Amino acid sequence: MKRLGPLLAIFLTVFVDLVGFGVIVPLLPFYAEHFHASPLAVTLLMAIYSLTQFFSAPLWGALSDRAGRKPVLMASILGIALSYVWLGFAASLWQLFAARALAGVMAGNIAAAQAYIADVTPPEKRAQGMGLIGAAFGLGFIFGPAIGGLLGGGDPHHPDFLAPALTAAGLSFLAFLFAVAALRESLDPAQRARPRERRPLSRISILAAALDDPRLRLLVILLFLVTFVFAGMESTFALWSERTFGWGPRQNGYVFAYTGVVAAAIQGGLIRRLAERFGEAALVVQGAIALALGLFAIPFVHSLLPLLAAMLLLAYGAGVSNPSLSSLVSLQAKAEERGATLGVSQSAASLARILGPAFAGLAFGAVGRSGPFLAGGVVMLAALALALQLPGRKALRTTS
């Protein structure tokens, strides 16, 4: 395994970890309702992970600039594995929240993985490299929800909670072992900040420094909005499908797996060609349009095929937007602060995963099952207006 190239090694590490994450996705809404949670409480359970990740992601990213990418990845993945064990044996709603909060604290692996990609790719291939992380997400959402759905069962009233959680823990532990054996450190010791030059590991100071750049600020806002609407959709989709089709974890797992197939195909294969042809900024515009159309379509869906068409639009929108925005953020960042800057962008995404589900839960309760999707479509129209202001890659500071 030590002969694997750095891109393949980081891809496989993140992929196995994300399969474990995906196993839990179709289970959580039903797990929360098992403890008589309201729709708002269900979405807050989805959001608590991102609330704690919001505070920890920039710190993990900055720590990776000092200590290296590999130790941060290993520590965070091992912590997530332990949180899944706690989740499986949770005996009350507060324990569900606590287990998900711990998982969020330990979820520093994405910022560190993005920094790893940025370390080993030249600027002109950065979007393709970031697409590997997106492909790991996509593939994780192919196999993970399908596995979780099979293990959880098709009955929305009596799902199996323990088997999916322990399976997720086992997969994350496998990712930890893979990182130990196959992952080589990507950060050149010469690029690590000297002690006298190091900034304090303060989330607020890191965030303020990064957002002082107006171009970076625009990129972070767009990443926030894209993640905001997608997280709202994810957190309420099971509630919508249960009321519309009578679906349980199994059917929802299959739909998320389908979405993952499309996203993985885009981010793992097409993103390089799309970025070369259109540029990252244009792909963000395309993504905003596709997300808006998909969200507006879901409330009018009454059968499987139209639903799959709407999910196709959502998968394409997220599939081109996320790696393009991450690529542009990494190009705008200084080389010596790349991990911290990508940690800031992931912190913004985490904040979106807090507010998006909460907003969707409120819309679900106030408007009904269509509320989260219609509101999300309106948000994406606002994102489209901002995306049209993005500079191209050549206008950004390029750092190798």
Q: Where are the domains of the chain?
A: 6-183+203-395
Q: 158 with 280: CB under 8 angstroms?
A: no
Where b means 16+ CB within 10 Å and e means fewer, 67-102 reads bbbbebbbbbbbbbbbbbbbbbebeebeebbbbbbb
Res 197 pLDDT > 50: no
Quick one: pLDDT at residue 221? 92
Residues in the chain, total: 400
| Residue 149 tokens, joined | 């759905």
- Taking the C-alpha atoms of residue 158 and residue 343, their distance in angstroms, rounded to an integer, is 39
If you average pLDDT over residues 383-394, what whole number do you get? 82
Quick one: pLDDT at residue 108? 63
Quick one: pLDDT at residue 211? 67
Res 127 pLDDT > 80: no
Would you place residue 306 in the very low, low, confident or very high pLDDT band (cuts 50, 70, 90)? very high
Res 118 pLDDT > 70: yes
Would you place residue 297 in the very low, low, confident or very high pLDDT band (cuts 50, 70, 90)? very high
All residues at 6 or more sequence positions from 61 whose CB lies less than 8 Å from its CB, including other chains: 108, 111, 112, 115, 206, 339, 340, 341, 342, 343, 344, 346
Would you place residue 347 in the very low, low, confident or very high pLDDT band (cuts 50, 70, 90)? confident
Q: What is the CA radius of gyration of the chain?
A: 19
Res 356 pLDDT > 80: yes
Quick one: pLDDT at residue 285? 95
The angle, 0 to 180 degrees and rounded to 10, between the axes of the packed helices 214-245 and 203-211 is 110
Give the rounded distance of the alpha carbon of 160 from its chain centre. 25
Pick one of 1.20.1250.20, 2.40.30.260, 3.40.50.10380, 1.10.10.10 as the CATH number of 6-183+203-395: 1.20.1250.20
368: left (phi over 0), alpha (psi -120 to 50) or beta: left
Res 363 pLDDT > 80: yes
- Taking the C-alpha atoms of residue 190 and residue 10, their distance in angstroms, rounded to an integer, is 22
Query: Among 79, 129, 137, which Cα is nearest to 108's?
Result: 79
- Burial of 399: CB neighbours in 10 Å, binned 0-12, 13-18, 19+: middle
Res 191 pLDDT > 70: no
Query: Among 113, 114, 172, which Cα is nearest to 140's?
Result: 172
Quick one: pLDDT at residue 200? 47
Q: What values do phi and psi take at 358, rounded to 5?
A: -65, -45
- Taking the C-alpha atoms of residue 251 and residue 233, their distance in angstroms, rounded to an integer, is 16
382 vs 13: which has the higher pLDDT: 382
If you average pLDDT over residues 298-306, what whole number do you get? 93
Query: Among 150, 161, 146, 186, which Cα is nearest to 13's?
Result: 186
Res 394 pLDDT > 60: no
- Taking the C-alpha atoms of residue 350 and residue 109, their distance in angstroms, rounded to an integer, is 13
Res 367 pLDDT > 80: yes
Where b means 16+ CB within 10 Å and e means fewer, 303-335 reads eeeebeebbbbbbbbbbbbbbbbbbbbbbbbee
Q: Which amino acid is at 131?
A: G
CA angle 66, 72, 78 (to 5 degrees): 160
- Give the tens place of pLDDT for each residue, 150-186: 888 767 777 788 888 898 888 888 888 888 887 788 7
Q: 100 with 87: CB under 8 angstroms?
A: yes
* SS3 call for 244: helix
Quick one: pLDDT at residue 397? 46
Would you place residue 4 in the very low, low, confident or very high pLDDT band (cuts 50, 70, 90)? low
Would you place residue 337 in the very low, low, confident or very high pLDDT band (cuts 50, 70, 90)? low
Quick one: pLDDT at residue 377? 96
| Residue 147 tokens, joined | 């596995």
If you average pLDDT over residues 243-270, what whole number do you get? 83
Kindly report which listed range (78-92, 133-147, 262-276, 370-384) carries the lowest average pLDDT score.
133-147
400 vs 44: which has the higher pLDDT: 44
Q: 44 with 57: CB under 8 angstroms?
A: no
